[in-house]
Amino acid sequence: MTKKATKGILLVQLGTPDSPSTPDVRKYLTEFLMDGRVIDIPYFNRMLLVKGIIAPTRAPKSAKVYKTIWDKETGSPLMYYSVLQAEMLQEQLGEEYHVELAMRYQNPSIEQALKKMEGMFLESIRVIPLFPQYASATTGSVIDKVMELMRKWQYFPEVSFVSNYCDHPLMIDVFADHAKALDLSQYDHFLFSYHGLPVRQLGKVDPSGTLNCPDTGCDSCKAEVNPYCYLSQCYATSRAIIHKLGLQEGSYTICFQSRLGKTPWIQPYTSDALQRLAKEGVKKLLVFSPAFVADCIETLDEIQVEYAHEFKAAGGQEVHLVESLNDDPKWIEALKNLAINNKN
């Protein structure tokens, strides 16, 4: 007789279009960018910007890119690895646990996943957003959505959230292992490229408004001032990988990609870093993308194709990407640790 699961684990990834078609990509972009935590401007202005300009113009271009990374059998790489991670975690946790996967935007939705879990009368639900570094636009949005939906429940199991795991030892080990597999000695420089955020969103993490965060960050902020600052957590992740690999000062650069619009975003920008390094004579570049736990459009295209082209055009020769966490057993062990130990 199968034992009844008593503990629920909800893994939540950002999301992916249902297909690489322009209508599905437009639908995905619209839902994503209409989130007030992603584009934090008044609703009416956001609606005009997203539905009137961004989604209609970007959807056809993004659809073409998605088609280049879309597998005929497995579909979206992000979905493929996310499903695999959930299945592997379920196997590791055993029948006492029930693991559900949801996407913050599109399918399977958080609402669908929670509906299944509601009917199971679980004793506890542990929500693990699949973003190592906390940001209001990612982890914060997931937590916000879960609380909004669960507010309608007539009973409440014990609910907990993982806010970040930016320097989790097992996660750091995987990034280091994947880098070592490429022979570090052949590279002139190492790039740590994180997803960017508007500078204004950094200050919003401090309700008192007293920290006056600089737009270039502080590598000691996580431990000493504000543990929820996205920028400080990016530094913490980089610092842990750098220490694990024994990289020398001056051999690496921390930068930020995927900016949108004309307002200031966290700097230095990855594009600017690539131009600078090429002019300085760097030829072979190894890029880490530790804001993502699975390879996706931001790694497989933006880094491996777009940035590689920019680097070569500026005089560089090669850009190699460190594989993301994907289905590495050690990463699944890290997820198990987060699920069971209730520790970040």
pLDDT for res 216: 46
Residues of the chain with pLDDT below 70 are: 1-2, 207-225, 342-344
pTM of the predicted model, to two decimals?
Answer: 0.93
pLDDT for res 288: 98
pLDDT for res 260: 79
**Exposed, middle or buried by CB within 10 Å (0-12, 13-18, 19+), for 42?**
exposed
In degrees and rounded to multiples of 5, residue 318 shows phi and psi of -135, 140
Query: Class assignment of domain 167-319?
Result: alpha beta
Whole-angstrom distance, CA of residue 312 vs CA of residue 320: 12
Residues 6+ positions from 329 with CB-CB distance below 8 Å: 88
168 known member of a binding site: no
pLDDT for res 222: 53
Name the fold adopted by 5-163+327-338.
Rossmann fold (3.40.50)
Cis peptide before 20 (omega within 30 of 0): no
Pick from 42, 39, 36, 33: which is nearest to 15 by CA? Answer: 33
Q: What is the dihedral of CA 288, 290, 294, 296, to 10 degrees?
A: -60
Do the domains 167-319 and 5-163+327-338 match in fold?
Answer: yes
pLDDT for res 344: 47
| Cα diameter, the chain | 66
Give the domain ranges of the chain: 5-163+327-338, 167-319
158 known member of a binding site: no
pLDDT for res 201: 87
